[in-house]
Amino acid sequence: MLNLVIFGAPGSGKGTQSERLISKYGLHHISTGEVLRKHIAEKTELGKIADTYISKGQLIPDDLMVRVLEHVLDSEPELVKKGVIFDGFPRTIEQAKALKKMLESRNTKIHAVIGLEVDDDELVRRMLNRGKETGRADDNIDTIKNRLEVYHTQTSPLREYYQGEGKYHSIDGSGDINGIFERIHKSLTERVPELTEYNPDND
């Protein structure tokens, strides 16, 4: 079993690199942003609440977000058995502590945190492009600015938190997508012993 967190600013490539990690290591993907966007599309109660925060580029409150993740883990217990890549969670120290507890109570833990480092100008370019191509509602310049501000103030302290746990892999997230994945794979192979023992079919 192998659990990874993919961490980084909005637009840093968490979703893009998750796809590579999933096909390489056979992990399940939990993107809290995607979970919330699905609720918004289906106009559920949670979706209505989430929309008010996402459209402003603010974080959904920790207690609600933790309950959402707990629900995802409980509704699909096989996810945790095989291993998960957490994309977009945790985003605050409080969420990181809650995730630790959630995994401990399921007899597992986070093995590594992949931190994608990309400068703000490049992030803005990527998100504006995607906004034009896909129409994702929070990819407009005002919301992007708020998302980046929220990242720098509320989320980036997690870097130190996971460095303190010896789990943080700092990865240059700029340039060619395949090249970035190679850097991730190399760093994990060198520093995560569970990776070499890991076989998704046996676990």
Catalytic residues: 14, 91, 130, 136, 147
Stretch of 29-37, 74-82, 160-168, 185-193 lying at the interface with ligand AP5 (CB under 6 A): 29-37
Total of chain residues touching ligand AP5, rule CB under 6 A: 28
Q: Helix or strand or coil: residue 31?
A: strand
> Which of 101, 172, 177, 203 is in the footprint of ligand AP5 by CB under 6 A?
177
Q: Which does 115 bind (CB under 5 to 8 A by kind): Mg ion, ligand AP5, none?
A: none
Which residue is it, tokens 């580029």?
A: 57
Residues at the contact surface with Mg ion, assessed by CB under 5 A: 14-15
Cβ-proximal residues to 152 (8 Å cutoff; 6+ apart), any chain: 9
| Contacts (CB under 6 A) with ligand AP5, residues 117-176 | 126-127, 130, 147
Dist. CA 183–CA 138, nearest whole Å? 29
Query: C-beta of 202: minimal distance to ligand AP5 in Å?
Result: 30
54 near ligand AP5 (CB under 6 A):
yes
Stretch of 32-40, 73-81, 157-165, 190-198 lying at the interface with ligand AP5 (CB under 6 A): 32-40
Spell out the alpha helix ranges (H) of 26-83: 32-41, 45-54, 62-75, 77-82
Beta bridge partners, 5, equal 86, 113
For residue 97, CA distances in Å to 100, 110, 176 come to 5, 11, 33
Query: C-beta of 88: minimal distance to Mg ion in Å?
Result: 6
Q: For residues 137 and 193, which CB has a smaller minimum distance to ligand AP5 in the complex?
A: 137
Neighbours of 86 (CB within 10 A): 25
Rg (CA), the chain: 16
Nearest to 82 by CA among 69, 73, 91: 73
Stretch of 58-66, 70-78, 96-104, 159-167 lying at the interface with ligand AP5 (CB under 6 A): 58-66
Q: Write the single-letter amino acid at 134.
A: T
Q: For residues 101 and 130, which CB has a smaller minimum distance to Mg ion in the complex?
A: 130
Give contact residues for ligand AP5 (rule: CB under 6 A): 8, 10-16, 32-33, 36, 53-54, 57-60, 65, 88-89, 91, 95, 126-127, 130, 147, 177, 180
